Amino acid sequence: MAASETVLRIPLGSLSQSCYLASFFVNSTPNLSFKPVSRAKRGLRCTNSHDLSRVSTSAARGDSFHGSNCALRGKKLVSNICKCQKHDVEESIRSTLLPSDGLSSELKSDLDEKPLPVNGSVSSNGNAQSAGTKSIEDEAWDLLRQSVVFYCGSPIGTIAANDPNSTSVLNYDQVFIRDFIPSGIAFLLKGEYDIVRNFILYTLQLQSWEKTMDCHSPGQGLMPASFKVKTVPLDGDDSMTEEVLDPDFGEAAIGRVAPVDSGLWWIILLRAYGKCTGDLSVQERVDVQTGIKMILKLCLADGFDMFPTLLVTDGSCMIDRRMGIHGHPLEIQALFYSALVCAREMLTPEDGSADLIRALNNRLVALNFHIREYYWLDLKKINEIYRYQTEEYSYDAVNKFNIYPDQIPSWLVDFMPNRGGYLIGNLQPAHMDFRFFSLGNLWSIVGSLASNEQSHAILDFIEAKWAELVADMPFKICYPAMEGEEWRIITGSDPKNTPWSYHNGGAWPTLLWQLTVASIKMGRPEIAEKAVELAERRIAQDKWPEYYDTKRARFIGKQARLYQTWSIAGYLVAKLLLANPAAAKFLISEEDSDLRNAFSCMISANPRRTRGPKKTQQPFIV
Ligand code: GLC
């Protein structure tokens, strides 16, 4: 057995109650054993006795899935015809996760009623239309439905891209957690709830699955970056196949990056599901509550950090390659904050969770303060940095992070408008990443990590810098691109992330939906309307690319996939929300009064003085 196939496993055999898992991960130190697990023995599985197994990425209608069995390999979770039957104690812990409704999903019946438009004959609202006259929205719905992946006969996600002409699929045939969010929201807005519920519950099962890289396992709460439904022959019976859910936690991903954002997005989607459907039974389940707590435990674990921001490696989010965002990137902080707020809303108070809730509340306040104070950048702040004293050793330092004014990049001086501002990309000792990162800024508005004034200022900034951030196609993932030596050193000469391409200043249509939620929240939907209008001019014609290249986003990205699902879903969510802005509220978190009070107490207490020496003492400088 290869070393990489050897994993540390937590024995669950002696557990006696289904609720044990919650307290197990929250309270106890697991008794670790060293047990070899072959890769083929991993993943959730579903057996098909009549070789009916398939991953449907297109029209799955009409297939029979009778005789399917679902099983969690290694943990022996077994079900019959996708109806879970308790098999042993281990099963009982997780068996409640499986949707018991088999084929009766709303989505499936919807698909049954509306055959996929091979010749474009059916519109998303059921109206017959002739080929060639379909609206962009109808086409997008058709494409989104074609990207649906089925497992045990139930829809559980959407593949990342469905490009029929792509020669190298890589992992774009997988269901990515982050990519599914706009798909899930589009389905929620359409009233098709099953796929989202299934996605939430199946990915939850993958959460605590054994995962290793060279004998090392990441934390238990980690959610995979993606998963794939695989059809494999059944052990010992060639006439049968089974479907296996095979997750990738980063151990196969390019660069072996850990998907820190997956669990955070999962929590955000879970809350959106409850708010949109009114069905709180999913978030109230013991296993789901446990899942939330496991993610929180992982994120709130004590470490060496001086900052309340989450410390991560490069490539741990939407930008999943080396782009110099290791440390405390804004995107992760915005999602972290938002996930904490959502979790706070959903956690059911119970014995044993008081410490976790306390830690969560403390972190929310500290994170909020830290980002609003230290990440904020506008003309006034640049001028402050420009005049910073350095090497201040004291509790009262103004330049706490010892930022050298020479770090202010030349592009920024002219770029910053008089009105508006934004949250910088990253903050570390002696380092401010002044680049503008869209997702982090937009989600800071949505989740109220940015204050009301800051949120408006970010939108002012976007409006003022439209030609740079939007140009011909919304929306630049970051601005500006790294070039020359900086690109060479920071990306490691990454040929995909050349200047103004892909993650390095490329334009990503999927960001339309976050822009829409943010502008609706601030009562400025016209910003999103303008962006959607622009996208509509070419996105369908260009076959829904993953990203666009060049400073003005004029070219379809060099290596961009076509029919990229989150480009399609992002557009749909933007359209649906602009048509019904009230629906955005299930994605938005308004700042609650408790937090506002705690935050203003913190400001008025002036943290510079709380631990500082008495006034009579002189700060000393080394
Ligand atoms: C790229 C993107 C990542 C996305 C994946 C699948 O790797 O950087 O954010 O999840 O493609 O679309």
- What pLDDT digit, counting tens, does each position of 243-297 carry? 999 998 877 767 677 899 999 999 999 999 999 999 999 999 999 999 999 999 9
Pocket flag, ligand 1, residue 322 (CB < 6 Å): no
- What pLDDT digit, counting tens, does each position of 458-515 carry? 999 999 999 999 999 999 999 999 999 999 999 999 999 999 999 999 999 999 999 9
| The predicted structure's pLDDT at residue 548 | 98
Q: What is the value of pTM for the model shown? A: 0.81
Is 483 contained in some domain? yes
* Alpha helix positions (H), 194-285: 194-207, 260-277, 281-284
Q: Report the distance separating Cα 436 and Cα 424, nearest Å.
A: 6
Is 553 contained in some domain? yes
Q: Whose CA is nearest to atom 9 of ligand 1?
A: 318
Total count of domains within the chain: 1
Is 122 contained in some domain? no
- Please say if the pLDDT value at position 521 is more than 80: yes
Is 67 contained in some domain? no
Banded model confidence at residue 605, pLDDT cuts 50, 70, 90: low
Is 211 contained in some domain? yes
- What pLDDT digit, counting tens, does each position of 527-575 carry? 999 999 999 999 999 999 999 999 999 999 999 999 999 999 999 999 9
- Sorted by sequence, the CB contacts under 8 Å of residue 203 that are 6+ apart come out as 177, 223, 224, 227, 266
Structure tokens at 509: 């249509």
235: left (phi over 0), alpha (psi -120 to 50) or beta: beta
Q: Report, as an integer, the average pLDDT of 401-428.
A: 96
> What DSSP state is assigned to residue 399?
S
Banded model confidence at residue 606, pLDDT cuts 50, 70, 90: low
Is 491 contained in some domain? yes
Main-chain dihedrals φ then ψ at residue 319, nearest 5 degrees: -85, 95
Pocket flag, ligand 1, residue 179 (CB < 6 Å): yes
Q: How far is the CA of 318 from the centre of ligand 1 (A)?
A: 6
3-state secondary structure of 327: strand
Is 1 contained in some domain? no
Burial class (CB in 10 A: 0-12, 13-18, 19+), 618: exposed
| The predicted structure's pLDDT at residue 47 | 65
Is 267 contained in some domain? yes
Q: How far is the CA of 564 from the centre of ligand 1 (A)?
A: 10
- The domain in which residue 298 lies consists of 136-603
Ligand 1 atom with minimal separation from the 225 CA: 10
| The predicted structure's pLDDT at residue 171 | 81
Pocket flag, ligand 1, residue 176 (CB < 6 Å): yes
CATH of the domain at 406: 1.50.10.10
Ligand 1 atom with minimal separation from the 564 CA: 12
Main-chain dihedrals φ then ψ at residue 555, nearest 5 degrees: -110, 150
Pocket flag, ligand 1, residue 320 (CB < 6 Å): yes
> What residue type is 201 in one-letter code?
L
Q: Whose CA is nearest to atom 3 of ligand 1?
A: 318
Q: How far is the CA of 320 from the centre of ligand 1 (A)?
A: 7
Pocket flag, ligand 1, residue 323 (CB < 6 Å): no
Q: Report the distance separating Cα 78 and Cα 68, nearest Å.
A: 11
The answer to whether 457 and 465 have CB atoms below 8 angstroms apart is no
Q: Whose CA is nearest to atom 7 of ligand 1?
A: 320
The answer to whether 375 and 423 have CB atoms below 8 angstroms apart is yes
Best residue for ligand 1 mutational test, from 163, 179, 183, 249 (most atoms within 8 Å of Cβ): 179
Ligand 1 atom with minimal separation from the 172 CA: 6
Banded model confidence at residue 404, pLDDT cuts 50, 70, 90: very high
| The predicted structure's pLDDT at residue 32 | 29
- What pLDDT digit, counting tens, does each position of 108-127 carry? 444 333 333 322 233 333 33
CB atoms within 10 A of CB 468: 16
- Please say if the pLDDT value at position 102 is more than 60: no
